[in-house]
Amino acid sequence: MMHASNDNPVLDNPRLAELTSWDAPWSGLRAVVAGIGVSGFAAADTLIELGALVTVLDSRDTERNRQSADTLKIVGASDVVLGSDAMTSVPDVAGARPDVVITSPGFPPTHPLLAAAREEGIQIWGDVELAWRVNRRAGRKTPEWVCITGTNGKTTTVGMTASILQAAGLKAVAVGNVGTPILDALRDPVEYDVLAVELSSFQLHWTHSVSPLASVVLNVAQDHVDWHGNFENYRADKSRVYENTRVACVYNAEQDGAEELVEEADVLEGCRAVGFTTQTPGLSMVGVVDDLLVDRAFVAERATTAAEIGSIEDTGSIPTRHIVANALAAAALARAAGVSPEAVRDGLRAHRPGEHRIQLVAESDGVRWINDSKATNPHAAQASLSAFDSVVWIAGGLSKGVTYDTLVERNAGRLRAVVVIGTDDAALLDALSRLAPDVPVLAATPGQGGTAPDDSGIDPTDGHAVMRRAVRLAREHAEPKDTVLMAPAAASMDQFADYADRGNAFMHVVHEELGF
């Protein structure tokens, strides 16, 4: 199987090799937990419950982190260190060197703490690796894992998968990068049958031994180059989701190189490759015939027949091509877990998508206003831009080292105007000037180029003020039958707390400006 690098070697450590269930000898293990956010807190809390000696580090000395630190000290943490110098080196734990470092997903392999641990030969796990190692527990049902990754569509697909599994009568929940730590689900009084696990490339980089029932890479496009160093490393880390898969490796049959990732994966004997496509499916695929979703993978006579598992209408109120693709991927994962065709249909109908993903905000004077704040990279923005014929596009933010040429070139003909938000827009503006020279480009952020005047008096870092200006500029240029689409193709943290804050700001301003 492809691996990103030797950043995360599996070291020969007999102490750690024993730790393969909740009931293993965790007591006395010395662990450093890097980060005290949601995943770090869950990891530290779990390890303390298991009897490990735990030191927690975080460079941010905030009120929230101080409260979390107090809680962990009460339940038995050996130490919690906050502040700018907390994560520059690997500390002792209870007077001795640690056995393992548990890292939160956001820290790249180049982080000084992780680099120091690697140099010293200390094993590094992510919270997902820890969760897998405590997945089995005496006296409790062991949940199966179906694992979902991809540049885009992860949260939608994991939600659809959980909904289908629940429609089949299984106790299932969406966990992982979707927001609920896997460790919290494993400690829940509810004994789950299946966990639908969303995994980011960051999380996958730090996994060693996860063995899911089924897994999928939805798509791979340029993203997080700054974290991984280059696209090849990013793609390799995404491919880790297939490692040790037992029943089905699900892949995107419409993406070049996707099946190759499955072919290169080190899977368990008997695991099958199952493709998904928004076209007519081939053998061992799920796909679309007319307006129906069909399965030619998990039926007895798949060479000559297909099972109907739903319709395009079942996938949502705006069934764009990539939403249909997500639904098919979810269906394949659920079918691998033994779910009936009827449960797939019922689960898709019951699924309620989260906010900020091609979300209809308002319709007024013949113009639709769509919030796709979760489009944090060009690949995600392409999925939504391609769904509409004439667009006033609100875009921009932190680019994360990606390029915009392909996105702009593909969509120049559908752009009525582009309103640019964000403070890191040089690459986007350059692509627009070269590849869509006739499209009006308007700067909502003062000083970022475009043709809008710079006399607004707006603080460039005040995202909510910038968004108000962006909506007003979009309204001035939108015509009946247009769609105003806020799909930034960039991260949000230059002007907003996160993509949800950006999406909420857009929805709030649209409702105010349109009088809703």
- Which band of pLDDT confidence, cut at 50, 70 and 90, is reported for residue 224? low
- Predicted confidence at residue 401, as pLDDT, reads 80
- Which band of pLDDT confidence, cut at 50, 70 and 90, is reported for residue 105? confident
Structure tokens at 238: 């995404």
Any binding-site annotation on 154?
A: yes
- Residue whose token pair is 């890191």: 424
Any binding-site annotation on 171?
A: no
CATH of the domain at 413: 3.90.190.20
Alpha-carbon distance 218 to 336, whole Å?
Answer: 16
Any binding-site annotation on 252?
A: no
Range of the domain at 336: 140-350
Residue 8 lies in a domain: no
286 phi/psi in degrees, rounded to 5: -115, 150
- Predicted confidence at residue 222, as pLDDT, reads 61
CATH of the domain at 80: 3.40.50.720
What does the pLDDT look like over 445-463, one tens digit per residue?
Answer: 887 666 555 555 788 889 9
Question: Does residue 152 surpass a pLDDT of 90?
Answer: no
Any binding-site annotation on 150?
A: yes
Last residue of a domain, one of 350, 367, 389: 350
- Predicted confidence at residue 51, as pLDDT, reads 97
DSSP string, 330-384: HHHHHHHTT--HHHHHHHHHH--PPTTSSEEEEEETTEEEEE-TT--SHHHHHHH
- Predicted confidence at residue 6, as pLDDT, reads 46
**Shared-domain flag, residues 20 and 148:** no
**Shared-domain flag, residues 70 and 178:** no
Q: What is the pTM of this model?
A: 0.79
**Shared-domain flag, residues 125 and 181:** no
* Geometric angle at alpha carbon 85, from 84 and 86, rounded to 5°: 95
- Predicted confidence at residue 5, as pLDDT, reads 44
- Predicted confidence at residue 4, as pLDDT, reads 41
Helix, coil or strand: residue 287: strand
Any binding-site annotation on 177?
A: no
What does the pLDDT look like over 20-41, one tens digit per residue?
Answer: 999 999 999 999 999 999 999 9
CATH of the domain at 286: 3.40.1190.10
**Shared-domain flag, residues 468 and 365:** yes
